[in-house]
Structure 1
Amino acid sequence: MKAKLGALVAAALVAAPFAANAQVTPMPGFYIGAMGGVNFLHMPTLGSTKEKTGFAVGGVAGYDFVGPRVELEFLYRQNKAKGVGKNMYQYAPMVNVLYDFMPDSMVTPYLGIGAGVNIWEYAWVSTADFAMQGIAGLSLRMTDGFFANLDYRFMNTFAKGKDFQNHTVLVTLGYKFGPPAPAAPPPPPPGATPAQYIVFFDFDRATLTAQAMTTIRQAAEAAKAGNKARIGVTGHTDRSGGDAYNMALSLRRANAVKDALVREGIPASGITVVGRGESQPLVPTADGVREPQNRRVEIVLQ
């Protein structure tokens, strides 16, 4: 049993470095998934001290806040006690709180903790007891919303005088429902000329410099003075780095400018944020070239 668990974990660790540098655009949203795997049951106080290997299947639904996640899980576990000839059936609804350490990476490690009820049946005994679990795993995220998780869960059931544990290795296949793509800002009325401001960034950074803040304040003052109800904020990158990474970086830059505009008194509801990645360079360059003028966010007042 331990060899099987080790092989699964080793496979994930071997695959992780190949995707560690790949990037996805982190977005909050609801997700669902189906789970299945192997379960090792340790229950020395319930009649047998031998290892009992079984299976686990279930489902999960949750919400990803980009980093923290909260989810509702239901798992069914079944194990047969060696030498006793009886099956242990477990039905465990749990609430989990997890944290993804690299939410903008295609492969991210995560840790979590959960609590709930374990309803178990064994040797003509059926009861429900409080249970807690710890979770450690790796998640592989695809840009189309699909994901696959490999994790280990240690669950302790606090049965009255007869605590027992489950060691579960699970594979989860799921889908995350991201928010709809932001609509492009509507065209200005005929005869109106939109005002445009450009904020530049350092290489591979989304932090605002002093010069960038000066430009943002000018745009905010112009918007308030001209009663501009709509502001378009579009992020761009140069052509160094991968497409997926640059798309995420352009969004971080655009959101940094939006947050600064809000602090300057512009309502967030009137700001539209769009990321273009490296697709619309201000200065055309070959792929891989670091061009300072392409690392920018454009602010358009309409």
Structure 2
Amino acid sequence: MKKVILAVAAAAALPVSAMAQDVQTPGVYFGVEGGLNWMFNTTILGQNVAPQTGWALGGKFGYDFIGPRVEVEGLYRQNNNGNFFGNRAITGQISQVTAMANFLYDFNATGTIVPYIGAGAGVGFVDSDYNLGSTTFAYQGILGLGYNATPNLRFNLEGRYLGTTNPSVAGTTWNNNNVTLLAGVQLKFGAAAPPPPPAPPPVQATTFMVFFDWDRSNLSQQALATIAQAADAYKTKGSARITATGHTDTSGPEAYNMALSLRRANAVKDALVRNGVPAQAISVIGMGEKGLLVQTADGVREPQNRRVEIVIN
């Protein structure tokens, strides 16, 4: 028992620098395992029996919930005992087969190094008068350490205690207790889910600005050239929307300026349509004195505020 505890503790103490690999997914797995088995000393038909170190080999089939796991397992164990019991299956060696249902829990299940514990119960078939002739109830405790090499491939090292109800030989019973050290590999079916696609880059709006003379909504040659550039930019985007937002400075009455800003925005819209932009793709907004580009007092004629902003997105 001490050997198993020391082996598991040594494996757990190994330095690791593995990074968490959050790529594990639930799924069905199967595995194979093998290792050493130690049977506790016992008494059979009045003889003291001190079995030698034996071996174990088996396989399992289970489902990983990423954290909890459930599995069914079959394992064969054999230990030489050096005792003579006449014409019986236990003479010279004892063999046993267990069929178990196990429940296990993985700590750090999505990481690379995975400590785990578990327990199992099932049926055991132990040598007696005949090969594997004694049917028993079997139970076990499990302490292990796993290594997730990939999302689908895992290696395990674990120590177990296995006990059964007392097998019978020649009408008498004997105690059967075991400690097993197993190394195993398990393969999960199915591939890990692909990572989500990167988010599309945000759409960048394209902005043009057209300026007007004081109290005017007619377009200068410079304004017409800017509108032509805006129309070309719209055509390169394919399906897009244009917003033409008119502004005024703070000179003049507020209601008058609201109407003037709309006239300026509509003048820009008409020019865009003449340059090949569909009218239904253009929205017109009048802001009047709101949204000043240059902050001024009321009644100030500021050229930068007399404008239409063309936004394409």
TM-score with structure 2 length normalisation? Answer: 0.53
Q: How far off is 1:128 after superposition? A: 0.8
Is the deviation greater in 168-177 or in 153-162?
A: 153-162
- Structure with bigger gyration radius: 2
Gaps (5+ residues) in structure 2? 85-90, 168-172, 203-313
The 8 Å contact of residues 19 and 107 in structure 1, kept in 2 or not, is answered as: no
Give, as a single letter, the amino acid of the residue that structure 1 aligns with 2:25. Answer: M
Q: How far off is 1:101 after superposition? A: 1.1
Measure the CA separation in 2 of the matches of 1:180 and 1:13. Answer: 27
Residue 154 of structure 1: aligned partner: 161
Encode CA deviations 1:162-219: one digit per residue, 9 max, x unaligned.
331111000011211245636979xxxxxxxx9x9xxxxxxxxxxxxxxxxxxxxxxx
* Correspondence 1:166 to 2:173: no
Q: Percent identity?
A: 40
Residue 79 of structure 2: aligned partner: 79
Measure the CA separation in 1 of the matches of 2:20 and 2:193. Answer: 21
Q: How far off is 1:11 after superposition? A: 4.5
Matches within 5 A, 1:119-268: 119-122=125-128, 124=130, 126-159=133-166, 161-178=173-190, 181=193
Secondary structure, aligned partner of 1:34: strand
Residue 43 of structure 2: aligned partner: 45
Q: How far off is 1:50 after superposition? A: 1.7
TM-score with structure 1 length normalisation? Answer: 0.55
Measure the CA separation in 2 of the matches of 1:87 and 1:22. Answer: 46
Encode CA deviations 1:128-156: one digit per residue, 9 max, x unaligned.
11110000000001224111000011111
Q: How far off is 1:48 after superposition? A: 3.0
Give, as a single letter, the amino acid of the residue that structure 1 aligns with 2:37. Answer: N
Measure the CA separation in 1 of the matches of 2:49 and 2:2. Answer: 16
Give, as a single letter, the amino acid of the residue that structure 1 aligns with 2:123. Answer: V
Q: CA RMSD in A?
A: 2.9
Matches within 5 A, 1:112-123: 112-122=118-128
Gaps (5+ residues) in structure 1? 186-193, 197-302
Give, as a single letter, the amino acid of the residue that structure 1 aligns with 2:120. Answer: G
Which of 108, 111, 114 is residue 105 of structure 1 equivalent to? 111
The 8 Å contact of residues 104 and 116 in structure 2, kept in 1 or not, is answered as: yes
Q: How far off is 1:94 after superposition? A: 0.3
